[in-house]
Amino acid sequence: MLPPRLSRRRLIALGAALPLLGACSAAPAAAKSFPKARSEAEWRRVLTAEQFYVLRRAGTERAFTSPLNGEKRKGAFVCVGCANPLYSSAHKYDSGTGWPSFWRAIDKGAVGTSTDYLIGYPRTEVHCADCGGHLGHIFGDGPPPTGKRHCINGVALRFVPA
Ligand SMILES: [Zn+2]
């Protein structure tokens, strides 16, 4: 029996909205389990507020604020949450967008992707494959040979010089 206020029509509308609600989740990667997963409380303890906002809440740092924008030395960019190597200086380029940009990840298994609808249309979200921390997004306007632009929040990365 349906409660009188919940008409069949209303139920259908709810059913249609549910998949969207799932896609709008603030932590797109949270549903999967990751090898270096931690509880929310643990992440709050080990990350700064800004790191937590980006990695665990899929936040975005302000453009042109990361010191890593100008980082041109040889080395690796590792996940600030779990130290997983994510990107190499060999694949970094100046996209002019104000966020550290790479045309590929350091290796195939370093990052994972999902689709998010946080700003109303689908985007390819990219996260650390080991801890699930949100890194940024991948766009199709990058340079050869991949044509991809990994647009990464500098606050999600730590640079390790070679
Ligand atoms: Zn990580």
- The 3-state DSSP class for residue 82 equals coil
79 bridge partner residues: 157
> From ligand 1's centre to the CA of 55, what distance in Å?
9
What span, in angstroms and rounded, lies between the C-alpha atoms of 95 and 151? 9
Are 15 and 50 spatial neighbours (Cβ–Cβ below 8 Å)?
A: no
Q: Is residue 79 part of a domain?
A: yes
Q: Is residue 5 part of a domain?
A: no
Condensed to tens digits (0 to 9), the pLDDT of residues 11-51 reads 444 444 444 443 334 444 455 789 999 999 999 999 999 99
Condensed to tens digits (0 to 9), the pLDDT of residues 124-162 reads 999 999 999 999 999 999 999 999 999 999 999 999 999
> From ligand 1's centre to the CA of 155, what distance in Å?
12
Instruction: Judge if pTM exceeds 0.85.
Output: no
> From ligand 1's centre to the CA of 3, what distance in Å?
46
Are 142 and 149 spatial neighbours (Cβ–Cβ below 8 Å)?
A: yes
At residue 139, the pLDDT reads: 97
Condensed to tens digits (0 to 9), the pLDDT of residues 56-68 reads 999 999 999 999 9
Q: Is residue 7 part of a domain?
A: no
Q: Is residue 83 part of a domain?
A: yes
From the list 82, 128, 131, 151, the catalytic residue is 151
Q: Is 131 a catalytic residue?
A: no
**Between 71 and 2, residue with greater pLDDT:** 71
Q: Is residue 18 part of a domain?
A: no
Q: Is residue 10 part of a domain?
A: no
> From ligand 1's centre to the CA of 35, what distance in Å?
9
What span, in angstroms and rounded, lies between the C-alpha atoms of 89 and 96? 16
- Structural domain that includes position 54: 27-161
Q: Is residue 13 part of a domain?
A: no
Condensed to tens digits (0 to 9), the pLDDT of residues 90-135 reads 999 999 999 999 999 999 999 999 999 988 999 999 999 999 999 9
Residue with tokens 């199709």, as numbered in its chain: 140
Q: What residues contact 152, with CB distance under 8 A and at least 6 apart? A: 77, 86, 87, 99, 100, 101, 102, 126, 135, 136
Q: Is residue 155 part of a domain?
A: yes
Q: What's the total number of domains in the chain?
A: 1
> From ligand 1's centre to the CA of 63, what distance in Å?
22
Mean per-residue pLDDT over the chain, rounded: 87
Domain containing residue 92: CATH number: 2.170.150.20
